[in-house]
Structures are given as structure tokens and as C-alpha cells.
């Protein structure tokens, strides 16, 4: 039987307060779960923790957001030369406003960050991947419209996320 503390910190029951990485400076912040919807700001740089738009994610910052943050992270692996990636970008940006604060949205430029593309064996772009506590929950290749992105992401989330 697991101790109570271990049960509390499963994806089904996220910890309170939540640990969230800042999309601007990558500092880890502790935010009470009840206050996540109140537009919290980073304790270090004072930027919004939920900017309402996807943020660029580097190799150096990836683990702070995908492993150490307590909310699911939806990542768009893309490249600037990719036509379908550019076509999907506005829909993905709009999805951030619909999915936050339940899900964080980030973008990884596979040209600028080839190590991340290799680490996750990205074979085609755009590819969406959903992470929680460092584990990939789901992956979808190909461009999607706004409603497709939102519906797909919501279907992949654990029940209490």
C-alpha cells in the first residue's frame, strides 16, 4: 500500500500548491491550485505564468516545464520552413487561450533545438506531444484546425488534470 503523500501527488490528484515553471525565465513557482485561474505571476520576473499564448521552449528549459511542472504540457514540434506548421500556428496560438490554465502550451523549433527533436524521435512536423511529469501521454502528427487541437488535447488529459 502506498503512503498517503504518494497518492496525493499522482496525475489524478495533483499536489497543492502546484509547481509551475515560468514561460519567460523558467523559474519554478509554487501556486495554490485554487489561484491558478487568477492570472498568477512569476515570483522572479513578474511575468504571467499563463500568458494566453504558446511560449518557445529550448532544450535547456524543457525539463523544467515537462518534468518539474505539475500541469500537462502540450508541445508543438515545428520548423520555420514547414508550410503545414505555419498554417497551424494561428490555431495553436488560439488553443492556448482555450486550454490554459488546465494545460500549458509550448513550441519547439526543431531546427533551432535539434536535440529535442532527436530525443523524442520526431519524424514528421508538425507533431503535437502531451507531457505530464516527464512522461509523454500522447502524440499526434499533422496539422489540425483549432477545434481539432482543443478536442484532441482534452481527450488525452487525465480525468482530474
Catalytic residues: 82, 85
Q: Is 39 left (phi over 0), alpha (psi -120 to 50) or beta?
A: left
**Contact 156/137 with Cβ under 8 angstroms?**
yes
**Contact 89/96 with Cβ under 8 angstroms?**
no
**Contact 76/116 with Cβ under 8 angstroms?**
no
Burial class (CB in 10 A: 0-12, 13-18, 19+), 51: middle
Tell me how far the alpha carbon of residue 24 is from its chain's centroid.
14
Amino acid at each position: 500500500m502506498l503512503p498517503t503523500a504518494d497518492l496525493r501527488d499522482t496525475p489524478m490528484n495533483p499536489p497543492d500548491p502546484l509547481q509551475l515553471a515560468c514561460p519567460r525565465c523558467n523559474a519554478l513557482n509554487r501556486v495554490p491550485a485554487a489561484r491558478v485561474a487568477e492570472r498568477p505571476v512569476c515570483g522572479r520576473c513578474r511575468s504571467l505564468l499563463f500568458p494566453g499564448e504558446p511560449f518557445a521552449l529550448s532544450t535547456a528549459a524543457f525539463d523544467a516545464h515537462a518534468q518539474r511542472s505539475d500541469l500537462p504540457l502540450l508541445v508543438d514540434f515545428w520548423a520555420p520552413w514547414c508550410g503545414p506548421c505555419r498554417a497551424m500556428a494561428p490555431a495553436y496560438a488560439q488553443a492556448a487561450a482555450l486550454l490554459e490554465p488546465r494545460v500549458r502550451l509550448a513550441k519547439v523549433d526543431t531546427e533551432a533545438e535539434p536535440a529535442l527533436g532527436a530525443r523524442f524521435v520526431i519524424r514528421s512536423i508538425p507533431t503535437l506531444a502531451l507531457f505530464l511529469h516527464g512522461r509523454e501521454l500522447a502524440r499526434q502528427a499533422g496539422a489540425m484546425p483549432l477545434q481539432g487541437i482543443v478536442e484532441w488535447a482534452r481527450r488525452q488529459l487525465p480525468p482530474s488534470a
